[in-house]
């Protein structure tokens, strides 16, 4: 059995996330304390007590989701002697989850990861004024059909607006991102192309599209000031859907990821081609588990996010 560890992205946040881990394991508490110290913010209090609206803010949700993933990872290491290099062939993450994956594999320190994600969230929010951008999920179209819808929607009455495929999540789920009017047009066009359902997503900015270029420029500066080590296992990168281990290349791909598409369907297919049969979703929620089920052939999928999950997983390995 060949295993990959996968790390969730934005949308997995909920009030109470990580609290049981912190109560059960000292290793998890350490991670939450490190993140709080790095940010100069009591992020764990916000995670455990809310309010949900503040937790959902991009600048809080991104480091919070990472913190839960790394709390699980460190607990597996400390409680069960789980060594990533011995137990997995790849790591991968969905959007911000790529930073969690790299922190788990030792490329970044947890403190640097928290600060990078805080800045990433702030930079993404600054890039486009609230209300000017949007994202929508198109369900029931394959990727090529969804890309055609986005291209048609971008040809707006005011000349060319922005609407591009942002997340190829597999199983007939493609997210488009761009100018609000163009994304709303995409929803209407998708209906005429046979989409089962299309809906605006409750996000505060149009991620993974060219409108995010100011945020990409800011992340290039931020990543240039941080030390990156080679990961203990290769990363399957969002923007290339193939493995990478060179720190300079990883830095470049993380910058491109801000405006580039999350090629999740292709990433899972790549891992499957490399012999991966077992996927372990590390952290909050089970969103990626559902995606993998729709993409891979008969995968073995485990979600590890609670103390009970940790104990059951350690018994299985």
Active-site residue list: 95, 208
Hunting for tokens 């940790």 — which residue is that?
310
Distance from C-alpha of 278 to C-alpha of 67, rounded to nearest angstrom: 23
Q: Do the beta carbons of residue 91 and residue 84 sit within 8 Å?
A: yes
Q: What is the CA radius of gyration of the chain?
A: 19
Distance from C-alpha of 310 to C-alpha of 167, rounded to nearest angstrom: 29
Hunting for tokens 């913010």 — which residue is that?
41
Q: Which two tokens stand for residue 273?
A: 């081609």
Q: Is the dihedral of CA 299, 305, 310, 314 positive or negative?
A: positive
| Closest to 61 (Cα-Cα) out of 7, 14, 127, 2 | 14
Distance from C-alpha of 220 to C-alpha of 74, rounded to nearest angstrom: 28
Distance from C-alpha of 135 to C-alpha of 166, rounded to nearest angstrom: 8
């Amino acid at each position: 059995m060949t295993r990959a560890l996968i790390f969730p992205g934005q949308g997995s946040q909920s009030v109470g996330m990580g609290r049981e881990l912190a109560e059960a394991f000292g290793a998890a508490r350490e991670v939450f304390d490190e993140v709080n110290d790095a940010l100069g913010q009591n992020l764990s209090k916000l995670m455990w007590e809310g309010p949900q609206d503040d937790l959902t803010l991009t600048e809080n949700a991104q480091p919070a989701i990472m913190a839960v993933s790394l709390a699980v990872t460190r607990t597996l290491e400390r409680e069960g002697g789980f060594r990533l290099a011995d137990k997995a062939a790849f790591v991968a993450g969905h959007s911000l989850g790529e930073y969690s994956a790299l922190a788990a594999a030792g490329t970044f320190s947890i403190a640097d990861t928290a600060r990078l994600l805080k800045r990433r969230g702030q930079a993404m929010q600054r890039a486009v004024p609230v209300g000017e951008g949007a994202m929508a999920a198109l369900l029931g179209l394959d990727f090529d059909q969804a890309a055609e819808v986005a291209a048609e929607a971008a040809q707006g009455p005011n000349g060319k607006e922005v609407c591009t495929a942002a997340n190829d999540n597999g199983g007939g789920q493609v997210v488009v991102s761009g100018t609000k009017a163009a994304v709303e047009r995409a929803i209407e066009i998708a209906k005429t192309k046979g989409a089962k359902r299309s809906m605006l997503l409750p996000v505060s900015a149009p991620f993974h599209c060219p409108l995010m270029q100011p945020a990409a420029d800011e992340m290039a500066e931020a990543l240039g000031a941080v030390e990156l080590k080679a990961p203990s296992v290769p990363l399957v990168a969002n923007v290339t859907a193939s493995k990478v281990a060179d720190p300079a290349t990883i830095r470049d791909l993380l910058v491109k990821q801000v405006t580039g598409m999350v090629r999740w369907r292709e990433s899972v297919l790549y891992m499957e081609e490399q012999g991966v049969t077992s996927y372990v979703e590390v952290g909050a929620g089970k969103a990626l588990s559902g995606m993998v089920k729709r993409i891979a052939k008969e995968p073995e999928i485990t979600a590890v996010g609670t103390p009970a999950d940790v104990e059951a997983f350690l018994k299985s390995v």
